[in-house]
Each structure stands twice: as structure tokens, then as C-alpha cells.
A = this chain, B = another copy of it.
Amino acid sequence: MKCKVCKGHAVVDVRRHNAGFCKDHFVEHVRKQVAKSVKEFSMFSPDERLLLAVSGGKDSLALWDILLDLGYDATGFYLDLGIGGYSGRSKEASIAFAEQRGAKLIVRSLGEEHGYTVPELARLTGRVPCSGCGLNKRYEFNRAALEEGFDVLVTGHNLDDEVATLFGNVLHWNTDQLGRQAPVLEERVLGDSPEPVLVRKVKPLVRLAERETAAYALLRGIDYIVEECPMVEGNTQHRYKEAISLLEEASPGTKHQMYFGFLEKAAARFAGSGDGAQIVRCTSCGAPTLDLGQEEPRCSFCKTKALALTRKEQGSAKEC
């Protein structure tokens, strides 16, 4: 196979584009796909400060690499979830990349900030690990971005991630989540204050499949952590990816078509589905939460944290 651009020896083929690329032109192709998404969805401008959620995996490190090369002011944010050796190794990979590129990295730890790790949280609350982990990451990413004065929170969700989420939402017809599934979620303010309570969130990798970000990271010599989170076993998102990959294999372009077709032809039909309830401030932490008529509204994060810490205390008391 030959490179689509220079006709040299191709090292990567992208079946859904029916094209092969040599190393240099594949790197250029990936950068262009990111630049195209940033422009098409008005994600951010060069004078904005970006906070990039970094896991040490291929997607977030590849994206960081691309954003820096495109000249953006992108600071990394690593949240230590306390998942044994996996978290240790993914933190090391994130720090090593930041040092190598001379990029700023903020490191926080769930244990230090809140007093529990993800495995502890799962055990204490009886919730599946991915659910508690997602809740805490969303909360902490937003909090860090607001506290540190960033304009935008950037995440490394790729096309496969977004299609799997879309597929799950369609299997269950989660209309409110379908109404919010987009490559950009605008910031939200509350009341008269001009300060946002939710920072703008963007996903610049939506035009790139998992396989392509992995190839990019390999070709760029990025030392990312290959192992998957050990708690992900049986995750439904994985099954959705497997089912869709069957179809992509038989008909390249299926994932792209499903995701961008949704944005183009269906997303607007679900807009506002979840806006029945008003947003108010959590009386514990001030974060935005749905007004469900409680006297003292508390956000899901605070409720989960309180439950976990109460049970942790009860556990310690019993041991004494």
C-alpha cells in the first residue's frame, strides 16, 4: 500500500478513508483531523487556556502532543484514582510525557482531596467502580478547571468512545443524555454571576478512531500506558464497542456515519430533553445540581462522598 499523499511506503491504512499514509503524512493527517474538529465545532481559540484531562493512555497523551504541536496553551491534569499499580504507572507516564515536552502538569489525588480511592469508593457505596469513578472524575475535572482559571476542559474521548456512548444511549433511549451528547458542551452560569459553574467541555478526537490514536502515539514515540484499567471488566461500554466493531469490520465507516449522522440529523430532536428540572447550587459544595424540590439540595458527588466517608468511619469504629 502506498501513501495517499507522497506515494511512498504506507505504514498505516485507514480503511474508512480508503487511504494509506507514510509516517509523516499520517502524523499530519491526525493533526489535521484534530484541527478540523476544533474549527468545525468552535471548540476553542489560540488565546484560551486549555486544561486537558490526562490518564497516561494513548488518547490523552496523543491529544496533548497534537495540541502542543498546533500551538495551543494546553496544561495537563492528572487525577490519581488510587487504583493500585495501574494508577502509579499511569501517573508516571503522564509526568514523563510532561517533562519530555516541557509542558505544565497539575497532579491531584482523590485520596488526598476526599479521603478515598476508586476501589474503596466502590466497596463503600456498593456501586460499580466505573460509575463512582466517572462521577468523581467529572466533578474533579470541572473543579480543577474552575479553580485554576482555565477556559476549557479538554478530554481525549475518541470516535469509538463516542459511538459506544451513543449506542448505549440509543439502546436505552436515554433521551436526556442523547440531548447532551455533543463534541462541545458549553459552559453554564447560574443566576446573575458571570462566573461559570460548569466549564466548557470539548472532545477534539471525535474524528479519530482508537486504532488511529494508538498508531499516532506509536509513530510519535509516545510512551503511553498500554494496560487497561483493571476494574473495567464486564463494562457495558466494552460490549458496545465490540458489537459496533463487528459492523465496522464488514463496512468501514459505520462508526463515523453513526456518530456524525446523529449530530447532523438527530441530535437536535433530543435537545432540551433533560432540562425539565432547574439547576441550583449544592448546599454543601456550591457545585450545580438539579433542583428536585429538596429543601437543602445536595449534588450527587457530595451525597456519594458523604455515604462513603460515613461508612468508612463506621468500619473503622467497628475495627477498634
Contacts and interface: CB of A to CB of B under 8 A. Distances in A.
Interface of A: 170-173, 175, 236, 239-240, 242-244, 246-247, 250-251, 254, 257-258, 261-262, 264-266, 269-270
A266 B171 contact: no
Contacts of A173: 258, 261-262, 264-266
Contact of A171 (B240, B247, B264): B247
Contacts of A250: 236, 239
A24 to B, nearest CB: 34
Nearest to A254: B171
A128 to B, nearest CB: 14
A240 B247 contact: yes
A182 to B, nearest CB: 15
A175 B258 contact: no
6 contacts: A171-B247, A172-B258, A173-B258, A243-B243, A243-B244, A243-B247
A240 B270 CA distance: 24
Among the interface residues A173, A236, A254, A261, which one has the most CB atoms of the partner chain B within 10 A? A173
Contacts of A243: 243-244, 246-247
B239 A246 contact: yes
A175 B268 CA distance: 12
A58 to B, nearest CB: 25
Contacts of A265: 173, 175
A246 B247 contact: no
A132 to B, nearest CB: 21
Nearest to A260: B173
A257 B170 CA distance: 10
A79 B246 CA distance: 34
A292 to B, nearest CB: 20
A129 to B, nearest CB: 18
B246 A172 contact: no
Contacts of A246: 239, 242-243, 246
B257 A171 contact: yes
Given A171-B257, A172-B257, 18 more contacts: A170-B258, A171-B258, A171-B261, A172-B258, A172-B261, A173-B258, A173-B261, A173-B262, A173-B266, A236-B250, A236-B251, A239-B246, A239-B251, A243-B243, A243-B246, A266-B270, A269-B269, A269-B270
Nearest to A171: B258
A179 to B, nearest CB: 10
Contacts of A175: 265-266
A261 to B, nearest CB: 4
